[in-house]
Structure 1
Amino acid sequence: MNLQVEQMHPLVLNVGLAIHNADWNWKNVNSPFTRLYYITEGTAQIELPDGIHTLYPHHMYFIPSFTVHTNICNSHFEHYYLHIYEDHYSEDDWLEQWEFPLEIKASPLDLSLFQRLCEINPHMSLQKSDPTTYDNNPTLMRNLLKNRQRAFCDKVESRGIVLQLLSHFFKYAQPRNEMEDNRIAKAVRYIHKHISEEIELEKLAELSCLSKDHFIRLFKKGMGTTPLQYVNQKKIEKAQLLLLTEELAVKEIAFRLAFEDYSYFNRLFKKITSMTPQEYRRLYSR
């Protein structure tokens, strides 16, 4: 896989130290960002699709985006957390191109890196550990806006730290084998990668080696929504991000996301967010 470091633009959404006493218990968490943990004290467990794993002190853990998992904590437990979002300038979802190890042994330097990341990003810690309080699109957009408003020197240092931490996991990572991926997951990755283009249902069904009707049924069963609804949702989420991070006219944003009908884009945006693009930009850019 010909991945270049120049393609990697990780953004820090949240970083901080969490202290728990048998209260880190959240079921079926599924986030659009990657999580890194550094365990400092105690133990807890995390249930992933392949089983239950114990989290140990002085180890780091990697939870990919869109991975359904459950946290289990029955005693005292402390850990640093880091939520990483892939910058929309990236040509590919590079974190999704690799199979990363869940666990690696950490070093004292890794602990120092987490501490430094917290020091230069004091306003990016979570107020509550309940994922429902921060794992939602409005909060995601506000965090991305906070990221943009930081001092340039802090952005540069943060990116360097994140890349250092990720480098340990890349040492043991393996490129994904597309043939091993399930059919719907392959279609979802295609949608994410080509969200700025017109995405045809026939193309998605072809990628999944399914008839169109069979693909729609399987997609809805696996994702809880139709392919068209999912594509529209992701396009509007991308539009929300562009509204807050780019000084582009709304019409230009609609064009960039392959909406030829500007009126339809406005109607769809309001249907999904309950406000117009202009209202959204005014509300969250303050």
Structure 2
Amino acid sequence: MSIKNCTLSIFHFSRFTGMRNEQTSPDFILLNIGHAVHNADWNWRKVCSPFIRVHFIESGTARLIREDKVYELKKNHLYLTPAYTSHGYKCEGHLSLYYIHIYEEQHHHTSCFDLIDVPVEIKADPLVIQLVKRLADIHPERKLPHFDPWSYDNFPTLIRNIARQNTTPLGYEMEAQGIIRQIISRFLVHATHKNRHIDKRILQALRYIHSHLHKPVSVDMLAENSFLTKDHFIRLFKKYMGCTPGKYINGKKIEKAQRIMMTRDVAIKDLAYSLGFENDAYFNRFFKRETGENPGNYKKKIRLLAGGDFT
């Protein structure tokens, strides 16, 4: 794919999110990359990870099961599974593949996959095949020691892998970012709106919420921007999202707080203010209500799991 076509891929994604004038380019952290050869031993059920999975099939056959759909994995094809997507694998013979695990760090923009659907399978062009292999060559330390998802798909391992990014030479880190964006862009050019049947006013509100998590977001303001009364807006939001807008907003802020604590050492007070909370006491209470523990203890646990490496 040419530079021009790659640029068009990002522009195409911007059209879907409706935020062409805001930062929409996602930041990715490489967790794992490697080559694996399986012989009827790649069989797992109910895998659900907090990171994106990409597989490039080099040879052999297997099946990917997602949402009761079965995809026959084919040679020279790429397969993408977004974070928090329940899926499984079935392999009854030889299979040679490359695996890539990617953590998406969200800032003041929505996730790649919040409002769009990307294809599960695409044909890999010669350039992207070279890029996958190059990514594996420059990061041999990121290969998995074991292929059992339960051995690496857990909170402590995720924290350590994210923290490990800080020790990667800048040149390799920049190259990895470029390669990951090239790979993801191949899927994004074929993306479609996920919520085609959601009221456009709610979609607009969702886009605003995701791009303004660093500021106070009021239900009154969202209703006014949607040209609806507050009560009508709340009813419409609950109809499509299954919860009140206030609960949705605060839930997304807490998710963002957890992601920030996983990658940076930030004082709890500064974190609360950076997410638009009026004060850290309110943030502490809401964080504990959502996660079961206060943010101070949560932060200490993360630092312990990561070995304190947040430099």
TM-score range, shorter chain: 0.7 to 0.9
SS of match in other structure, 1:94? coil
Per the alignment, residue 157 of structure 2 pairs with: 139
Which moves more between the two structures, 256-265 or 35-44?
256-265
Matched, 1:154 2:172: yes
Per the alignment, residue 280 of structure 1 pairs with: 301
Q: Distance in 1 between matches of 2:259 and 2:154?
A: 13
Q: Distance in 1 between matches of 2:73 and 2:260?
A: 37
Q: How does 1:1-286 map to 2 (within 5 A)?
A: 1=15, 3=20, 7-49=25-67, 51-89=69-107, 91-171=109-189, 173-176=190-193, 178-180=195-197, 195-196=213-214, 209=235, 235-263=253-281, 265-266=283-284, 268=287, 271-272=292-293, 276-277=297-298, 279-280=300-301, 282-283=303-304, 284=306, 285-286=308-309
1:47 Cα deviation from its structure 2 partner: 1.3
Letter in 2 for 1:276: N
CA contact 2:49–2:153 (8 Å) conserved in 1:
yes
**Cα distance change of structure 1 residues 208 and 108 upon mapping to structure 2, 3 Å threshold:** farther
1:208 Cα deviation from its structure 2 partner: 8.2
Q: Distance in 2 between matches of 1:71 and 1:190?
A: 37
Scaled by the length of structure 1, what TM-score is found?
0.76
Gaps of 5+ in 2: 1-14, 224-230
SS of match in other structure, 1:110? helix
Scaled by the length of structure 2, what TM-score is found?
0.71
Q: Distance in 1 between matches of 2:65 and 2:78?
A: 16
**Cα distance change of structure 1 residues 113 and 276 upon mapping to structure 2, 3 Å threshold:** same
CA contact 1:37–1:80 (8 Å) conserved in 2:
yes
Q: In the TM superposition, what whole-angstrom CA distance separates every residue of 1:121-160 from its partner, at most 9, and x where no partner exists?
A: 2222222222233333333222221123311111110111
CA contact 1:8–1:90 (8 Å) conserved in 2:
no
Q: Distance in 1 between matches of 2:302 and 2:86?
A: 31
Q: In the TM superposition, what whole-angstrom CA distance separates every residue of 1:233-261 from its partner, at most 9, and x where no partner exists?
A: 76455334323533432210122234445
Computing the radius of gyration from Cα coordinates, the structure with the larger value is 2
Q: Distance in 1 between matches of 2:194 and 2:137?
A: 39
SS of match in other structure, 1:81? strand
CA contact 2:57–2:77 (8 Å) conserved in 1:
yes
1:207 Cα deviation from its structure 2 partner: 6.8
Q: Distance in 1 between matches of 2:187 and 2:112?
A: 13
**Cα distance change of structure 1 residues 157 and 135 upon mapping to structure 2, 3 Å threshold:** same
Count of matched residue pairs? 275
Q: Distance in 2 between matches of 1:158 and 1:15?
A: 10
Q: Distance in 2 between matches of 1:124 and 1:255?
A: 35
Aligned-residue CA RMSD (Å): 3.8
1:193 Cα deviation from its structure 2 partner: 5.7
SS of match in other structure, 2:183? helix
Which moves more between the two structures, 45-54 or 232-241?
232-241
Letter in 2 for 1:92: T
Paired-residue identity, %: 35
Letter in 1 for 2:195: E
Gaps of 5+ in 1: 220-226
SS of match in other structure, 2:160? helix
